[in-house]
Chain A
Amino acid sequence: MIRFIIKGIVRDKSKSLIPIAVISVGVMVTVLMFGFLKGVFSDVINQNARLDTGHVKIMTKPYAENKEQLPNDLALLDIRELIDSLNQNFPEMIWTPRIKFGGIMDVPDNFGNTKSQGPGMGLALALFDKDSKELERLKLSESVEKGSLPNKKGQILLSDNYANKLNINPGETITFFGSTMEGSMVFQNYEMSGTVRFGSPLMDKSTFIIDILDAQIMLDMNNGSGEILGYFKNNKYDDKRALTIAKKFNSKYISSSDEYAPVMVTLKDQNDLRASLEMGDAFSGVFLFVFIIAMSLVLWNTGLIGGLRRYNEFGIRLAIGESKSNIFRILLVEASVIGIIGSLIGTSLGILFCYYLQEVGIDISKDIANSTIIMPSVMRAYVTSDLFYIGFIPGLFSMLFGTALSGRGIYKRETARLFKELEV
């Protein structure tokens, strides 16, 4: 039966060409949009996790309330003890301290006078602690543009844009000028080891990286840090697990009278990510729904035209005794086959374009040059396993729905008038 229907579809191209074309285009756009949105959202999550939020983050309560101001005077203290306890209670996570701080970078000329200077954003992380996996996490080795990563105390890594702005090269000395945790004036010379490109305009603008021990000494933050980040060992964010861990951790301190008690927040509960990602998911759902409706309307119309063209065929089949429901059923089977063929073509094309966008991407660095949120500078689609079936939902459904709507006409045919209609 199916073979007979397929033969009919292949041999009578007027029966299938337009529906297959409509479905192919619709499915292709659906797959492409789905892969692209998924890629962008997943990049936003990963980049925020790597550079800023962790999968969970611990701060003191007042630090969390003012975190945009990088208030290191409200930082966590006794962090070694806290990390030991975290390792014991939550062994599925890797815990690593980070300090974010602001200051001025000043490059001296040969006489020690200011050659160039500019405000910068410091990021101190456990560069030399292999267990922290910070180098791999931030993909620093792959991101080196000039020179090398710091390999000893007193070295500093600058974002490539910032280094170019300050006109400094690897091996040269640069002076940090800022304030300690308590606000004392601090000057510190560093040897610039190299430059990196983070792939986020916000970070690439004026970020510099030093080792956390250097920062703790410089900023008078012995055994302290602004934040402790937690990452799942499999490096994949799991919102449910993260929420459970945060709830368990926070329950210990909920009734604490310590003004500086720690508080844990999940990735999605930072930088307005939960709302943004939920809105993105809702947008994807609405997009899929609108596409199904739009394609159904087109296919309904196509079905009606096909129904008119096949008016005589249905009449003859009814006249020779085929039941209306059987014709309608075969029409639906035909629609399913056409839907599957269109979905296969559309999915293949969609995945092909997704793969292109995965490898090449769309560079938006100029458009978000002044962005204050962490966003990837290149938007990419991702080819994932769900792309192989997601297009079949609108492809099949819209074809079946369109055919069902147009096929209702079969039930309106009256057997008594068939011979007159067929002019026999």
Chain B
Amino acid sequence: MDFMKKRHIINFLSFLMSFHLFAQKSSEQALKIIEKIDKNMFAKTQVVTSEMVVYGKRKKRIIKSRGYSKGVENNYTEYLFPEREKGTKMLKLGNRLWIYSPYTDRTIQLSGHLLRQSVMGSDLSYEDMMEERKLSEIYTANIIGNEVYNEVEVWVMELIAKVEGLAYHKRTIWIDKNKYVPLKENLFAKSGTLLKSTTFSDVKRIDSRWFPMKMNYKDVLKSGNGTDFIILDISFDTQIPDNYFSKNILKR
């Protein structure tokens, strides 16, 4: 009888251990996946020329800009089109953001809840534009499923914030199993409310990485078709002068 009891306990402990090992393995695999995504999506430097298509209620607007980023901390964007926006510049250094308007020759620093305002009427907030930290550094990941999304085999992963103060506490991401790029992403508040939904498409190979050239950001709390972000030209790891990431660039 005693022998049977011991056997049950050993079986139960073995089950617990194997479950723990399986969970650990799954979590390690999830971490490896998001590290590969980070490798695709982030570079030492990036220069991006893009178009943002904002679908307004009465008409759509196209805003063209060129952005320079260094690591995940520093970003400088200059707006090129339309005329009203031309010459407007945005500089992000760490967690600080400045906007320069040539019309008023003023530089305004945005902070706090003002960063939650929409950028040029789009579905993106300044906070969205600023949050460019690597997923593997700020989220813990778990694979929650395998699916076929738009005829592509994907992992469905759930990412939970491991650091405080993030704009989105939870993300659900559909990841291309072959290219390691996200194809769809749902962003949630801490309360569990779905806030934004992003789809990624037109995935292209650039140098040694895969990169989605078109994104659609949709603020689910707003009506409309969301905002398209189309990359016209992108280059990775190119030399960017240091003065592009100093406040002096704004008034030049």
- Listed in ascending order, the chain A residues whose CB lies under 8 Å from chain B are 62, 71, 73-74, 104, 106, 108, 112-114, 117, 119, 175, 177, 179-180, 182-185, 187-189, 220, 260
Q: Is the CB of A184 within 8 A of B106?
A: no
Please list 28 pairs of residues, one from A and one from B, whose beta carbons are closer than 8 Å in the complex, sorted by A's number: A73-B56, A74-B57, A104-B110, A104-B117, A106-B108, A108-B106, A112-B106, A113-B107, A113-B109, A114-B107, A117-B109, A117-B114, A119-B114, A177-B101, A177-B108, A179-B121, A180-B84, A182-B56, A182-B59, A182-B121, A184-B82, A185-B85, A185-B99, A185-B101, A185-B119, A187-B103, A187-B106, A189-B106
- Selected from B57, B101, B106, B118, the residue in CB contact (under 8 A) with A179 is B118
Q: Is the CB of A175 within 8 A of B104?
A: yes
Smallest CB gap from A69: residue in B = B222
Task: Give the distance to chain B from A74, nearest Cβ to Cβ, in Å.
Answer: 6
Q: Whole-angstrom distance between the alpha carbons of A392 and B88 in the complex?
A: 71
Residues of chain B contacted by A220 (CB below 8 angstroms) = 84
Q: Is the CB of B104 within 8 A of A188?
A: yes
Q: Whole-angstrom distance between the alpha carbons of A47 and B216 in the complex?
A: 44
For the complex of A and B, list the 4 residue pairs with the smallest distance between their C-beta atoms, beginning with the closest.
Answer: A183-B121, A187-B101, A187-B104, A189-B104
Q: Is the CB of B106 within 8 A of A175?
A: yes
With A119-B114, A177-B99 as contacts: A183 and B54 at CB distance below 8 Å: yes
Residues of chain B contacted by A106 (CB below 8 angstroms) = 106, 108
Q: Whole-angstrom distance between the alpha carbons of A261 and B175 in the complex?
A: 45
- Selected from A104, A113, A182, the residue in CB contact (under 8 A) with B114 is A104
Residues of chain B contacted by A177 (CB below 8 angstroms) = 99, 101, 108
With A62-B57, A73-B58 as contacts: A183 and B99 at CB distance below 8 Å: no
Residues of chain A contacted by B88 (CB below 8 angstroms) = 185
Q: Is the CB of A183 within 8 A of B61?
A: yes
Q: Whole-angstrom distance between the alpha carbons of A113 and B105 in the complex?
A: 11
Q: Which of B71-130 contact A (CB under 8 A)?
A: 82, 84-85, 88, 99, 101, 103-110, 114, 117-122
Q: Whole-angstrom distance between the alpha carbons of A113 and B106 in the complex?
A: 7
Smallest CB gap from B63: residue in A = A184
Q: Whole-angstrom distance between the alpha carbons of A301 and B61 in the complex?
A: 80
Smallest CB gap from B84: residue in A = A184
Q: Whole-angstrom distance between the alpha carbons of A108 and B106 in the complex?
A: 8
Smallest CB gap from A104: residue in B = B114
Q: Is the CB of A184 within 8 A of B108?
A: no
Task: Give the distance to chain A from B247, nearest Cβ to Cβ, in Å.
Answer: 9
Q: Is the CB of A184 within 8 A of B109?
A: no
Q: Whole-angstrom distance between the alpha carbons of A185 and B110 in the complex?
A: 14
Q: Which of B118-148 contact A (CB under 8 A)?
A: 118-122
Q: Whole-angstrom distance between the alpha carbons of A220 and B61 in the complex?
A: 13
Residues of chain A contacted by B118 (CB below 8 angstroms) = 179, 183
Residues of chain A contacted by B120 (CB below 8 angstroms) = 179, 183-185
Residues of chain B contacted by A114 (CB below 8 angstroms) = 107-109
Q: Whole-angstrom distance between the alpha carbons of A62 and B109 in the complex?
A: 34
Smallest CB gap from A106: residue in B = B108
Residues of chain A contacted by B61 (CB below 8 angstroms) = 182-184
Most buried by A among B105, B107, B122: B107
Q: Whole-angstrom distance between the alpha carbons of A71 and B121 in the complex?
A: 11
Residues of chain B contacted by A175 (CB below 8 angstroms) = 104, 106, 108
Q: Which of B183-204 contact A (CB under 8 A)?
A: none
Residues of chain A contacted by B85 (CB below 8 angstroms) = 184-185
Residues of chain A contacted by B99 (CB below 8 angstroms) = 177, 185
Smallest CB gap from B106: residue in A = A175
Q: Whole-angstrom distance between the alpha carbons of A187 and B110 in the complex?
A: 13
Smallest CB gap from B109: residue in A = A114
Task: Give the distance to chain A from B219, nearest Cβ to Cβ, in Å.
Answer: 12
Additional A-B contact list (18), CB under 8 Å, known A73-B56, A187-B103, A187-B104: A71-B57, A104-B117, A106-B106, A112-B106, A119-B114, A175-B104, A179-B118, A182-B59, A184-B61, A184-B82, A184-B84, A184-B120, A185-B88, A185-B101, A185-B119, A185-B120, A188-B103, A220-B84
With A62-B57, A184-B84 as contacts: A104 and B121 at CB distance below 8 Å: no
Task: Give the distance to chain B from A122, nearest Cβ to Cβ, in Å.
Answer: 15
Smallest CB gap from A74: residue in B = B57
Smallest CB gap from A183: residue in B = B121
With A179-B118, A184-B121, A185-B120 as contacts: A112 and B56 at CB distance below 8 Å: no
- Selected from A62, A117, A179, A183, the residue in CB contact (under 8 A) with B108 is A117
Smallest CB gap from B113: residue in A = A119
Q: Whole-angstrom distance between the alpha carbons of A189 and B58 in the complex?
A: 28
Residues of chain A contacted by B107 (CB below 8 angstroms) = 112-114
Task: Give the distance to chain B from A206, nearest Cβ to Cβ, in Å.
Answer: 13
Task: Give the distance to chain A from B6, nearest Cβ to Cβ, in Å.
Answer: 66
Q: Whole-angstrom distance between the alpha carbons of A182 and B54 in the complex?
A: 9
Q: Whole-angstrom distance between the alpha carbons of A183 and B224 in the complex?
A: 13
Task: Give the distance to chain B from A10, nearest Cβ to Cβ, in Å.
Answer: 72
Residues of chain B contacted by A183 (CB below 8 angstroms) = 54, 56, 61, 118, 120-122
Q: Whole-angstrom distance between the alpha carbons of A114 and B109 in the complex?
A: 7
Residues of chain B contacted by A74 (CB below 8 angstroms) = 57-58
Q: Whole-angstrom distance between the alpha carbons of A106 and B107 in the complex?
A: 10
Smallest CB gap from A182: residue in B = B56
- Selected from B58, B106, B110, B117, the residue in CB contact (under 8 A) with A182 is B58
With A183-B118, A183-B120, A185-B85 as contacts: A73 and B57 at CB distance below 8 Å: yes
Residues of chain B contacted by A113 (CB below 8 angstroms) = 107, 109
Most buried by B among A117, A119, A182, A188: A182
Task: Give the distance to chain B from A73, nearest Cβ to Cβ, in Å.
Answer: 5
Smallest CB gap from A113: residue in B = B107
Residues of chain A contacted by B110 (CB below 8 angstroms) = 104
Task: Give the distance to chain B from A70, nearest Cβ to Cβ, in Å.
Answer: 13
Q: Whole-angstrom distance between the alpha carbons of A83 and B95 in the complex?
A: 48
Most buried by A among B56, B57, B106, B118: B106
Smallest CB gap from A189: residue in B = B104
Q: Whole-angstrom distance between the alpha carbons of A403 and B118 in the complex?
A: 72
